[in-house]
């Protein structure tokens, strides 16, 4: 319930803006961790007229939703915030139900040659070793290196380069700046995406399941790393 309350508060502003400016209404449904039968939730979505499903769950949950919505004849498109892992999709959902699923790809080494600075390679190893020592088990989820602490590494790089943590000065430096991170060195173009001024983020490519492959939506999906928006400028 805490997660639900936090999510509803976080998404309220953008949901209101989407409906007011573009006529897009968001319907949010929450389910307990470990859910495998999504049919009741899918029935609710269909009754409410949902035309696209945007799933914030695991790859397995996405595959189960895809399978169950296909079996009930609800052939609505699916987008999600995880990798398109074809082997899981095909094994769980079946090839037909997996077609058209669209997801992120957060590993730039699969799409573009990158060089990670030695200090970040060393830092990664120290984090892995510390996790092993503290929890007495190996770190088995490296997603944090492609998202959460990548933002922090870019923030610290920028602050050190300009000698300030002033938000306006940092945003100015980010736009068009080049910074190291756990995923390599990337340049931020500072262009606008969906009308919002981009500041910094993580390299990500959108891919769609087509046939037996994941097809990326851009010829150079990781030319720059513009992904996240300047929230406060958007508010203004």
Q: How far apart are CA 181 and CA 155, in angstroms?
A: 9
Report pLDDT for 41: 96
8 Å CB contact between 180 and 172 = no
pLDDT in tens, 125-156: 999 999 999 999 998 777 677 767 887 888 89
161-202 pLDDT, tens digit each = 999 999 889 888 888 888 888 888 887 766 665 555 655 666
pLDDT at 43: 97
Written as six digits, the tokens of 177 are 């700046």
Contact by Cβ (8 Å): 205, 146: no
- Residue 203 has which token pair? 């390299």
Is the pLDDT reported for residue 1 higher than 90? no
Number of Cβ atoms within 10 Å of the Cβ of 2: 6
**In the chain, % of residues over pLDDT 70:** 78
Task: Give the integer Cα–Cα distance in Å for 121 and 144.
Answer: 14
The CA distance from 61 to 15, in Å, is: 24
| C-alpha to C-alpha distances, 113 to 165, 183, 213, nearest whole angstrom | 31, 11, 21
- The pLDDT > 90 percentage for the chain reads 42
pLDDT tens-digit series, residues 33-67: 889 999 999 999 999 999 999 998 888 999 999 99
Count of beta carbons in the 10 Å neighbourhood of residue 78: 23
- Average pLDDT of the chain, as a whole number: 82
The stretches of 163-201 forming alpha helices (DSSP H) are: 167-174
* Residue ranges of domains in the chain, CATH in brackets: 31-105 (3.40.50.2300), 109-201+223-235 (no CATH)
**Cα-Cα end-to-end distance for the chain:** 31
């Amino acid at each position: 319930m805490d997660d639900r309350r936090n999510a509803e508060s976080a998404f309220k502003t953008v949901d209101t803006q989407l409906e007011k400016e573009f006529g897009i209404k968001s319907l949010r449904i929450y389910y307990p961790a470990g859910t495998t039968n999504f049919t009741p939730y899918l029935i609710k979505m269909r009754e409410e007229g949902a035309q696209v499903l945007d799933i914030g769950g695991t790859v397995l949950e996405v595959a189960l939703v895809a399978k169950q919505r296909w079996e009930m004849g609800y052939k609505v498109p699916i987008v999600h915030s995880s990798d398109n892992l074809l082997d899981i999709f095909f094994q769980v959902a079946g090839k037909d139900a997996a077609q058209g699923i669209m997801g992120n790809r957060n590993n730039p080494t699969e799409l573009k040659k990158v060089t990670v600075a030695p200090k970040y390679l060393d830092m990664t190893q120290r984090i892995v070793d510390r996790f092993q020592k503290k929890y007495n088990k190996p770190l088995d989820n490296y997603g944090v290196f492609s998202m959460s602490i990548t933002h922090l590494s870019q923030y610290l790089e920028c602050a050190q380069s300009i000698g300030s943590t002033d938000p306006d000065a940092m945003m100015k430096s980010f736009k068009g700046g080049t910074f190291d991170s756990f995923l390599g060195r990337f340049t931020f173009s500072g262009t606008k995406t969906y009308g919002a001024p981009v500041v910094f983020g993580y390299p990500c490519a959108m891919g769609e399941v087509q046939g037996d492959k994941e097809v990326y939506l851009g010829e150079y999906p990781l030319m720059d790393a513009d992904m996240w928006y300047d929230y406060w400028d958007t508010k203004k």
